[in-house]
């Protein structure tokens, strides 16, 4: 919209200048007030615009306006644009009302006057493109010799011709439509076109190049614009410096993961009597003269009880067992119903009922200096006693216990029951 607004202002400004020039070329008038009223024509809002529609007037007849005020809205086949006033003035007469369609560019659409003029005393000038205006500009044989006639329209200037030996350029065809139309309007031949310096992308000829060749604009303008666009299209990296690489921040060592919680364990216990074991011990010592401690009987009983224990809950077969299952060897013959254990029972003596007596503590014996200086009394020879398992009792029952995971409770219970059977019923088989 910004580009359309700029084009609108330029077209309106050019139209105002053209009105002043035409007024000067038509001749002198006897009324000075008539010069204040000017025709306001349909502006060209784009280079390709030939006609437009008047959507609405923003200023009414007789109203004053200032430079920059929107006079009317014009519709084209592309957009709707506002026409702004270039100078202060008064809208004297509207010639093309709201909704007018197909108004040609250059056709009078209103009459404006200068600020401070009395529009009631002003004359409406004739339309420039009307038949009356054209006939007035044509010399008439009946005109008085002394009357000043309007000047004949000047012929368009001839297109410049290239100088001999001038540098030629190979133009890229087809030309842009705006360039081809401009060349056709000014009658530029192909030889002259070859002498125009192209500044467009890819060496193409632009409209500005032709205008500079015709002298309509400054000759250095196309090259200046082309240089600016070429500079903007390339990224200048000469002033860019590579930043120094920052050291990576030191990361704290992650804390070691906490150890997995120990599986919960259960206490499995069973009372076992060692009376039969002591009898077998005495019988072996009497007949063979060999003393076997109770720890030997307990160790051999544990070894017998650890054989072929039931599998624990969630048991994972070994590689050999899986291989035998794949080959079907587990179904040939009697497969082991369990696995060997490695349990060692903990033994503690159970106190007999009523054996615990709580009484007054004995007073500590006072030590006399004479007892210290005197020789220590000679102790009688030690009587050899029957060796037992530490913590076990030969007279009363003993508590055999194991602390195992919950999944092995059944397995530990079977182990203790086997130990109990061997030690209480048949301890003699442990020494055979």
With respect to residue 360, please indicate whether it lies within any of the assigned structural domains.
Answer: no
The tens digit of pLDDT for each residue in 257-308 reads 888 777 678 888 888 888 888 888 888 888 888 888 888 888 888 888 888 8
Asked which of 127-141, 221-235, 280-294, 401-415 is least confident by mean pLDDT, the reply is: 127-141
Looking at the fold, whether 92 and 201 belong to one and the same domain comes out as no
Cα 421 to chain center, whole Å? 75
With respect to residue 248, please indicate whether it lies within any of the assigned structural domains.
Answer: no
The tens digit of pLDDT for each residue in 39-96 reads 889 888 887 888 889 989 998 888 888 888 988 999 888 788 888 888 888 888 898 8
Give the residue with greater pLDDT, 337 vs 318. Answer: 318
DSSP-based helix, strand, coil % in the chain, nearest 5:
35, 15, 55
Residue finishing a domain among 231, 248, 272: 231
378 pLDDT band (50/70/90 cuts)?
low
Residue-level pLDDT at 31: 40
Looking at the fold, whether 281 and 206 belong to one and the same domain comes out as no
pLDDT for residue 370 is more than 70? no
Q: How many CA atoms lie within 13 A of 130 on its CB side?
A: 11
**Contact call for residues 179 and 207 (beta carbons, < 8 A):** yes
Percent of the chain at pLDDT > 70 equals 69
Q: What are phi and psi of 64, to 5 degrees?
A: -90, 155
Whole-angstrom distance, CA of residue 113 vs CA of residue 93: 9
With respect to residue 358, please indicate whether it lies within any of the assigned structural domains.
Answer: no
User: Which residues sit opposite 387 in a β-bridge?
Assistant: none
Percent of the chain at pLDDT > 90 equals 2
Mean pLDDT score, 208-231: 86
Looking at the fold, whether 427 and 302 belong to one and the same domain comes out as yes
For every residue of 199-239, DSSP letters joined together read -SGGG---HHHHHHHHTSS-TTHHHHHHHHHHHHHS---TT
Residue finishing a domain among 75, 110, 136: 136
Looking at the fold, whether 207 and 118 belong to one and the same domain comes out as no
Looking at the fold, whether 123 and 181 belong to one and the same domain comes out as no
With respect to residue 222, please indicate whether it lies within any of the assigned structural domains.
Answer: yes
Looking at the fold, whether 26 and 120 belong to one and the same domain comes out as yes
Looking at the fold, whether 268 and 205 belong to one and the same domain comes out as no
pLDDT for residue 374 is more than 50? yes
Looking at the fold, whether 193 and 298 belong to one and the same domain comes out as no
Looking at the fold, whether 120 and 25 belong to one and the same domain comes out as yes
The tens digit of pLDDT for each residue in 154-200 reads 445 566 666 666 678 888 888 888 888 888 888 888 888 888 888 88
The tens digit of pLDDT for each residue in 395-406 reads 567 888 888 888
33 pLDDT band (50/70/90 cuts)?
very low
Give the residue with greater pLDDT, 222 vs 394. Answer: 222
Residue-level pLDDT at 239: 78
With respect to residue 319, please indicate whether it lies within any of the assigned structural domains.
Answer: no
Give the residue with greater pLDDT, 337 vs 243. Answer: 243
368 pLDDT band (50/70/90 cuts)?
low
360 pLDDT band (50/70/90 cuts)?
low
pLDDT for residue 343 is more than 80? yes
Domain of 13, CATH number, reads: 2.40.50.100
Looking at the fold, whether 222 and 268 belong to one and the same domain comes out as no
Residue finishing a domain among 80, 103, 136: 136
With respect to residue 365, please indicate whether it lies within any of the assigned structural domains.
Answer: no
The DSSP H or E segment spanning 419 is helix 409-425
373 pLDDT band (50/70/90 cuts)?
low
Mean pLDDT score, 338-345: 82
* Averaged confidence pLDDT in the chain: 74
**Contact call for residues 165 and 134 (beta carbons, < 8 A):** no
Helices 294-305 and 409-425, packing angle to 10 deg = 130
Looking at the fold, whether 207 and 305 belong to one and the same domain comes out as no
> Would you call 414 helix, strand, or coil by DSSP?
helix
Whole-angstrom distance, CA of residue 151 vs CA of residue 354: 154
Total structural domains in the chain? 3
Residue-range definition of the domain harbouring residue 55: 2-136
Looking at the fold, whether 194 and 281 belong to one and the same domain comes out as no
With respect to residue 39, please indicate whether it lies within any of the assigned structural domains.
Answer: yes
Residue 6: both structure tokens together: 């700029």
β pairing state of 51-57 and 103-104: antiparallel
Residue-level pLDDT at 391: 57
With respect to residue 254, please indicate whether it lies within any of the assigned structural domains.
Answer: no
Closest CA to 204 of 222, 224, 231: 222
């Amino acid at each position: 919209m910004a580009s359309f607004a700029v084009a609108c202002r330029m077209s309106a400004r050019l139209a105002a200048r053209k009105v002043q020039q035409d007024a000067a070329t038509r001749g002198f008038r006897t009324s000075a007030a008539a010069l204040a009223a000017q025709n306001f024509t349909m502006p060209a809002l784009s280079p390709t615009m030939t006609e437009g529609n008047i959507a609405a007037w923003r200023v009414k007849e007789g109203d004053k306006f200032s430079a920059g005020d929107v006079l009317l809205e014009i519709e084209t086949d592309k957009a709707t644009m506002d026409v702004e006033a270039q100078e202060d003035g008064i809208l004297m007469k509207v010639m093309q009302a709201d909704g007018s369609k197909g108004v040609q560019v250059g056709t009078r659409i209103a009459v404006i006057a200068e600020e401070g003029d009395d529009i009631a005393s002003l004359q409406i000038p004739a339309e420039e493109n009307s038949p009356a205006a054209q006939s007035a500009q044509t010399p008439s044989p009946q005109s008085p010799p002394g009357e000043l006639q309007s000047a004949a329209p000047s012929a368009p200037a001839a297109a410049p011709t290239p100088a001999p030996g001038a540098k030629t350029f190979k133009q890229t065809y087809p030309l842009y439509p705006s360039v081809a139309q401009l060349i056709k309007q000014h009658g530029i031949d192909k030889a002259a076109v070859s002498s125009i310096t192209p500044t467009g992308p890819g060496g193409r000829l632009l409209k500005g190049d032709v205008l500079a060749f015709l002298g309509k604009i400054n000759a250095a303008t196309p090259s200046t614009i082309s240089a600016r666009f070429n500079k903007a299209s390339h990224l200048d990296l000469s002033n860019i410096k590579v930043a120094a690489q920052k050291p990576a921040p030191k990361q704290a060592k992650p804390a070691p993961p906490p150890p997995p919680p120990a599986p919960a364990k259960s206490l499995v216990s069973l009372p076992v009597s060692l009376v039969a074991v002591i009898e077998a011990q005495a019988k072996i010592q009497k007949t063979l003269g060999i003393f076997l401690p109770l720890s030997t009987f307990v160790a051999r009983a544990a070894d017998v009880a650890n054989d072929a224990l039931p599998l624990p809950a969630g048991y994972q077969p070994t590689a050999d067992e899986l291989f035998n299952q794949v080959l079907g060897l587990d179904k040939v013959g009697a497969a082991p119903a369990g696995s060997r254990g490695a349990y060692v029972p903990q033994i503690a003596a159970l106190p007999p009922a009523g054996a615990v007596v709580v009484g007054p503590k004995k007073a500590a014996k006072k030590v006399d200096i004479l007892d210290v200086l005197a020789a220590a009394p000679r102790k009688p020879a030690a009587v050899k006693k029957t060796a037992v398992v530490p913590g076990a009792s030969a007279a009363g029952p003993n508590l055999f216990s194991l602390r195992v995971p919950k999944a092995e409770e059944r397995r530990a219970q079977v182990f203790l029951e086997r130990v109990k059977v061997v030690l209480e019923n048949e301890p003699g088989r442990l020494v055979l």
